[in-house]
A and B are shown apart, each in its own frame.
Chain A
Amino acid sequence: MAELNMKERQAGDVTILDMDGKITIGEGSVALRSAIRRLLEEGKKKVLLNLAGVGYIDSSGIGELVSSYTAINKEGGQLKLLNLTQKLQDLLTITKLLTVFDVYESESEALNGFK
Chain B
Amino acid sequence: MPSVTEETTRLVLPSRTESVNQAATAAGEVAKRSGLDEEAAYGIDMALREAVTNALVHGNKRNESKTITVIFTSSPGALEIEVSDQGNGFDPGSVPDPTVGENVLKSSGRGIFFMRTFMDEVSWSRTAEGGTMVRMIKHT
Contact mask for chain B residues 80-124; partner A; CB cutoff 8 A; 1 contact, 0 none? 000000000000000000110000111110110110010000000
SS of A interface (majority): helix
A-B contact count (CB 8 A): 53
Chain A CB within 10 A, most for which of B50, B57, B110: B110
Interface residue ranges of A82-115 to B (CB < 8 Å): 87, 91, 94-97, 100
A95/B20 contact (C-beta < 8 A), A58-B46, A58-B53, A87-B42 known: no
A60 touching B117 in the complex, CB below 8 Å, given contacts A94-B99, A100-B104 = no
- Kindly identify which residue among B18, B46, B110 contacts A95, using a CB–CB cutoff of 8 Å: B110
Cβ proximity bits B10-53 to A, threshold 8 Å, 1 near / 0 not: 00000001101000000000000000000000100010011001
Chain B interface size, as a band, is 20 to 34
**A-chain residues with CB within 8 Å of residue B113 when the two chains form the complex:** 59, 94-95
7 further interface pairs, Cβ-Cβ under 8 Å (given A70-B105, A95-B98, A95-B104): A24-B20, A26-B17, A58-B114, A60-B108, A69-B105, A96-B104, A97-B104
